[in-house]
Amino acid sequence: MEVHKIAVIGAGTMGRGIAQVSAMAGFQVNIVDVDDTRLKQADKKIKENLQKGVDLGKIDTGLMETSLQRLSAFTDLPLAVQDVDLVIESVPEDLLLKQSIFRKCDEVCPTRTILATNTSTMSPGEIGSITKRPHQVIAMHFFNPVHLMKLVEVIRSLDTADETLAVVLEVSAKMGKETVVVNESPGFITSRISALVGNEAFYMLMEGVASAADIDRAIKLGLNYPMGPLELADLVGLDVRLRNLQYLHQTLGEKFRPCPLLIKYVQAGRLGRKSGRGVYEYRNA
Ligand code: NAD
């Protein structure tokens, strides 16, 4: 099957990025959110990103304009998914929420439609188990910021068909992404490692081992990571990171128990870059 039209569900940090790279790759894109404000913010961010690409000479104005023309915003999910070839769901990391969206898409989408989830940790098999098309369910795990990060981790469940995998690998390649294929397991490759390292950094901060800046500097300069684990947690969103850890703690055990300091930050509304304050302060969030 050739994909022409994609619906992206959820216009948050990830959904808007996925919508942008999909439109830039030549796909027609319907972007959906329950919250109209998030759709407006997504539209603004996508325009800003594309304009920045033009200003830096990375893309031309023609690509910016055609990409924007390919994007349509919806608050009505059935309307947005009724004629698409691929759905990429990117709502918050909550199994029941994701399953309710998959159930609705399964009812409304054409039989050919592939249903993908951008979950960071969860089982596409479990999310897809409530559909009548588990062989057409898969996870496409994108990274933040989507237009800059090269990888899509593709996770197949026990039931994912070879054809579904092949289509999703081709779509990812058209988006200019590299892929790795993972057999489903909580947190896949990247979230499992990243959550563990990030959680340990929070424990160090809580224990007073060093300042946040020095923990990040040590990991960057000594271990050659491009970003420190605390900076990365702020970029991902501390609430998103906490949800990932809670799921990994539940599925993989004690070593993923969320650090109490991370929980405190989230309870205080310090969610990272997106709220202007996390481990660090951000003036222009
Ligand atoms: P976010 O909170 O920024 O965005 C989620 C969006 O989903 C919000 O705009 C919200 O209004 C919308 N939404 C909620 N319920 C909805 C519904 N029923 N229908 C339509 N829209 C709905 O979250 P995010 O950071 O973009 O994360 C989304 C998913 O991507 C999560 O599963 C997360 O684990 C995963 N992920 C996040 C990152 C990251 O760095 N933030 C990276 C990879 C994957």
- Does residue 32 line the site of ligand 1, with CB under 6 A? yes
- Does this chain's domain 5-183 share its CATH topology with 190-274? no
- Does residue 204 line the site of ligand 1, with CB under 6 A? no
Fold that domain 190-274 belongs to in CATH:
N-(1-d-carboxylethyl)-l-norvaline Dehydrogenase; domain 2 (1.10.1040)
Q: How many Cα atoms are found within 13 Å in the side-chain-facing hemisphere of 206?
A: 14
Q: Of all residues in the chain, what percent carry a pLDDT higher than 90?
A: 99
- Does residue 120 line the site of ligand 1, with CB under 6 A? yes
Of 7, 70, 77, nearest to 35 by C-alpha is: 77
pTM to 2 decimals?
Answer: 0.94
H or E element, residue 126: helix 124-128
Q: Do 135 and 159 meet the contact criterion of CB atoms below 8 Å apart?
A: yes
Using CA positions, which residue lies closest to atom 4 of ligand 1? 12
Ligand 1 atom nearest residue 93's Cα? 32
183-230 pLDDT, tens per residue? Answer: 999 999 999 999 999 999 999 999 999 999 999 999 999 999 999 999
- Does residue 157 line the site of ligand 1, with CB under 6 A? no
Alpha-carbon distance 186 to 123, whole Å?
A: 7
- Decide which of 3.40.50.720, 3.40.109.10, 3.40.50.300, 3.40.30.10 is the CATH code for 5-183: 3.40.50.720
- Where do the domains of the chain lie? 5-183, 190-274
Ligand 1 atom nearest residue 91's Cα? 7
What is the pLDDT confidence band of residue 284, given thresholds at 50, 70 and 90?
low
Q: What is the DSSP string of 66-122?
A: HHHHTEEEES-HHHHHTT-SEEEE---S-HHHHHHHHHHHHHHS-TT-EEEE--SSS
The best mutation among 21, 91, 102, 246 to test binding of ligand 1, ranked by most ligand atoms within 8 Å of the C-beta, falls on 91
Q: Of all residues in the chain, what percent carry a pLDDT higher than 70?
A: 99
- Does residue 92 line the site of ligand 1, with CB under 6 A? yes
Residues with Cβ within 8 Å of 193's Cβ and at least 6 positions away in sequence, in order, are none
The best mutation among 37, 120, 122, 275 to test binding of ligand 1, ranked by most ligand atoms within 8 Å of the C-beta, falls on 120
What is the pLDDT confidence band of residue 283, given thresholds at 50, 70 and 90?
confident
